[in-house]
Amino acid sequence: MRYFDSGVLLKLCLSEPNSAEAVALVQKVRDLPPMTALHRLEMKAALGQKCGRGEITGSECEQLLADLGSDLAAGVFAAASPVWPDVFAKAEALAVAHAATKLCRSLDTSPSRWRWERPSFARLTNDRQ
């Protein structure tokens, strides 16, 4: 299973720079892209931010949120339920080990930014970090 961060998944819903690349990456993978509670939160917040910045209209935002809900209900994404205390314990350890030398934020060491310990769970992100 490949992990795609919410920035990649958002590009499946919106026409943005690198959207075509994101679609191609997801289509290359045999499995459905995993969707965690963190993905849902980040995607909904990102859509709200785009609306607040005027990048999309309120009605576009509402439609995109409805589409996301429909996609989730239809099984377009694979439901993923990591053990969050373990995930955040690993993120905390990474923050302690690397924040001073890499100047990373907590989100840079969070589940949406690091490669999971399972070798089959490779990370794909648009982040430059």
| Residues 70-93 pLDDT 10s | 999 999 999 988 898 988 898 889
Residue 88 within any structural domain of the chain: no
The pLDDT assigned to 109 comes to 56
Residue 24: pLDDT over 50 = yes
State the chain's mean pLDDT as an integer: 83
Residue 120: pLDDT over 60 = no
The 10s digit of each residue's pLDDT in 29-48 is: 888 999 999 999 999 999 99
Residue 77 within any structural domain of the chain: yes
Domain with 22 in it: 3-81+118-124
Residue 70 within any structural domain of the chain: yes
* Residue 116 phi, psi (nearest 5): -65, 155
Residue 99: partners with Cβ closer than 8 Å, 6 or more residues away: 109
Residue 48 within any structural domain of the chain: yes
Average pLDDT value for residue range 105-111: 62
pLDDT band for position 5 (50/70/90)?
Answer: confident
pLDDT band for position 129 (50/70/90)?
Answer: very low
For residue 17, give both structure tokens.
């720079």
Residue 73 within any structural domain of the chain: yes
Please tell me the distance from the alpha carbon of residue 6 to that of residue 102, in angstroms, as a whole number: 22
For residue 98, give both structure tokens.
């690397």
Residue 30 within any structural domain of the chain: yes
Residue 32 within any structural domain of the chain: yes
* Residue 83 phi, psi (nearest 5): -80, 95
Average pLDDT value for residue range 45-57: 96
Residue 12 within any structural domain of the chain: yes
CATH of the domain at 26: 3.40.50.1010
Mutual angle of helices 58-74 and 37-52, in 10-degree steps: 160
The pLDDT assigned to 88 comes to 85
Count of structural domains, the chain: 1
